[in-house]
């Protein structure tokens, strides 16, 4: 059955999950550089990194080291964290089966972060081959809620309509709905598979309690 809907998924917290807090990931990367980072240093680094990623800056992991003024080779740290973070990332147990079930849809990833890192997570979790497009804010120079991000995503997967499945209602789902996409809110905060999570000025957000509920929701959307 042909489809008129292209489906994008968020990445972190939606299809993949860290197996430990991000602060521990950063600390481990510093350890690989023979640098003992205390809690204050790790917190300062994470704050600087977040600002750089939000601004879609190039090489944010290395530049955050410089921004905090640490006695660490930024390139060495960059290489370390690009090994450590993907290694501490796991695919959601239902992700592979879900993506196989959605083969009739054009499927992509729409994610906020640095391109090399986000793609490394997909590779580490064995998910890359399931996607027709991967759109990363750091690669395209536009992040949520910039309309340019969604316009570029539509160019990558042309279709009559687009849907975004993501776990973060405020940061991920709402901007997509405001742009005119169908929003599917994934996770414990959702009201139930296929139910209306909330209705705003830009449209309704559909609820899916887990990844296993997503195909049924998309079948309704695609009718």
Mean pLDDT over residues 91-107, rounded? Answer: 96
pLDDT of residue 4: 87
Give me the pLDDT at residue 3, please.
63
For residue 117, what pLDDT band results from cuts at 50, 70 and 90?
A: very high
Is pTM beyond 0.95? Reply is no
Mean pLDDT of 25-52: 98
Peptide linkage before 182 cis (omega within 30 of 0): no
Q: Determine the pLDDT at residue 219.
A: 84
Range 190-198 average pLDDT: 50
d(CA 67, CA 60): 10
Residues with Cβ within 8 Å of 139's Cβ and at least 6 positions away in sequence, in order, are 115
CB 5 within 8 Å of CB 222: yes
Average pLDDT over residues 72-81: 98
- Homologous superfamily of the 5-18+90-221 domain (CATH): HAD superfamily/HAD-like (3.40.50.1000)
Average pLDDT, the chain: 92
Computed on alpha carbons and rounded to an integer, the radius of gyration of the chain in Å comes to 18
Q: What pLDDT was estimated at residue 192?
A: 46
Assess whether pLDDT exceeds 50 at residue 193.
no
* Half-sphere exposure at residue 161, Cβ-oriented, CA atoms within 13 angstroms: 13
The rounded distance, in Å, linking the Cα atoms of 51 and 53 is 6
E strand or H helix at 207, and its extent?
strand 203-208
* Relative orientation angle of helices 60-68 and 74-87, to the nearest 10 degrees: 130
Does the pLDDT at position 81 exceed 50? Answer: yes
């Amino acid at each position: 059955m042909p489809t008129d809907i292209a489906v994008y998924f968020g990445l972190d917290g939606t299809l993949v999950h860290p197996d430990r807090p991000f602060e521990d990931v950063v600390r481990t990367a510093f350890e690989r550089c023979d640098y003992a980072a205390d809690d204050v240093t790790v917190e300062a680094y994470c704050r600087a990194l977040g600002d750089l990623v939000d601004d879609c800056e190039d090489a944010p992991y290395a530049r955050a080291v410089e921004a905090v003024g640490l006695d660490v080779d930024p390139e060495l740290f960059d290489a370390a964290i690009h090994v450590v973070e993907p290694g501490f990332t796991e695919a959601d147990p239902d992700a592979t089966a879900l993506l196989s079930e959605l083969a009739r849809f054009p499927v992509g990833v729409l994610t906020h972060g640095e391109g090399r890192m986000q793609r490394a997570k997909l590779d580490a979790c064995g998910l890359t081959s399931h996607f027709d497009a991967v759109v990363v804010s750091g690669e395209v120079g536009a992040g949520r809620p910039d309309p340019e991000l969604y316009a570029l995503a539509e160019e990558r997967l042309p279709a009559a309509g687009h849907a975004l499945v993501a776990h973060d209602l405020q940061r991920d789902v709402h901007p997509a709905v405001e742009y005119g996409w169908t929003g599917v809110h994934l996770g414990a905060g959702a009201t139930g598979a296929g139910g209306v999570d909330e209705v705003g000025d830009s449209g309704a957000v559909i609820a899916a309690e887990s990844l296993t509920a997503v195909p049924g929701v998309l079948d309704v959307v695609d009718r």
